[in-house]
Amino acid sequence: MANVLLRYTNLVFVTLFILSLLSFILAYLFPGQAVENLTGLRLNELSVLQNSELKYAVDDNVVVQYWHYMGELFAGNWGVSFSSGLPLYDDVGHYLPASIELSAYALFLSFFIGLPLGFLAALRHHKLTDYSLLSVSLLGYSIPVFWLALIMILVFSLQLGWFPLSGRISLLFEIPSITGFILIDILLSDSIDKQAALIDALRHLILPTLSIAVVTTTLILRITRRSVIETLNSEFILAAYARGLTPRQVLMRHGVRNALIPILPLLAMQFPTLLTNAMIVESIFSWPGIGNWLIQAIYQQDYPAIRAGMLAVSVLVVIFTMLIDLTIRLTDPIRRRAERAAI
């Protein structure tokens, strides 16, 4: 147990070191002065320039410069945005929770729909239900996310008027940002219109969440189906049948858990795809997340914001992937036995 945690801690530190190094290098690859790309300040005054150069030790060697850069990162001094002039640390902290919230709801919905349908397709293997679900999943996976989002806006917002066109919540409601997650902030607020604000926020969430969840649901369905089929054809399942267990008992006692274990690592690999789709959907629905903020920064050539946003998103993906893999190692008995045998 301790060796596994130590191994993953070292892996996280090495990965974060590489990401921070790439972020540091980007400041020198972007057009303009490196010190401007690091601070976000338009250094027109010589005194400001000298102060920033001293802070980042631009006259020293690269190792010293990187050391100073890491010190500024840990101190929360990520620079300011070229376009807004606001601190990037505060901007990332403001926009990132909105992206996490949207991605989390889409992932939860994908699990809620994809897992049962995957089990159903596996249990009806080579039957009409299986072929129908595979056909629908292939269709859902083939639809571009941006096209699906635009179709949903056209049908459900413009034609039927069921859901809002864009945004996170109506401007009629003033909800103070406490955690950055809109539903939690509404529940924690003292607003007299709390119930109406919650319903309005949920209505704003539906179309973006569905747009992201379609592709992920089809992936979960297909991955679950394959894992369940392989598990049900295993020797220990046949041994369970030989002991006189019913198909329901075999599935609930041995099939479900052993089928879910191989699914988690594959789903961890899909998280970057989910986050990428969320960034596209954020731009279409004007969702105030890190993806929409990054796209605007690219349009405006806001190099400090691009550097800080890429670092924040990369760190989020790495931490999520590592946590999933660590959970699998701690819960999978086969891996635990293999690691004990290797010691």
Joined together, the tokens standing for residue 276 give 């990428």
Within 10 A of 48 (CB to CB), how many other CB atoms are there?
A: 14
> pLDDT of 291-321, one tens digit each?
888 888 888 888 888 888 888 888 888 888 7
Low-confidence ranges of the chain (pLDDT < 50): 45-46, 341-342
Whole-prediction pTM: 0.81
Q: How far apart are the C-alpha atoms of 68 and 94, rounded to whole Å?
A: 25
Joined together, the tokens standing for residue 168 give 């996170």
pLDDT of residue 46: 42
In order of their start, the domains of the chain are: 2-74 (no CATH), 88-342 (1.10.3720.10)
* The amino acid at 316: L
> pLDDT of 219-275, one tens digit each?
888 888 888 888 777 777 777 777 777 777 777 776 777 777 777 776 767 777 788
Q: How far apart are the C-alpha atoms of 123 and 230, rounded to whole Å?
A: 11
Q: How far apart are the C-alpha atoms of 51 and 38, rounded to whole Å?
A: 13
3-state secondary structure 124-173: CCCCHHHHHHHHHHHHHHHCCHHHHHHHHHHHHHHHCCCCCCCCCCCCCC
pLDDT of residue 58: 61
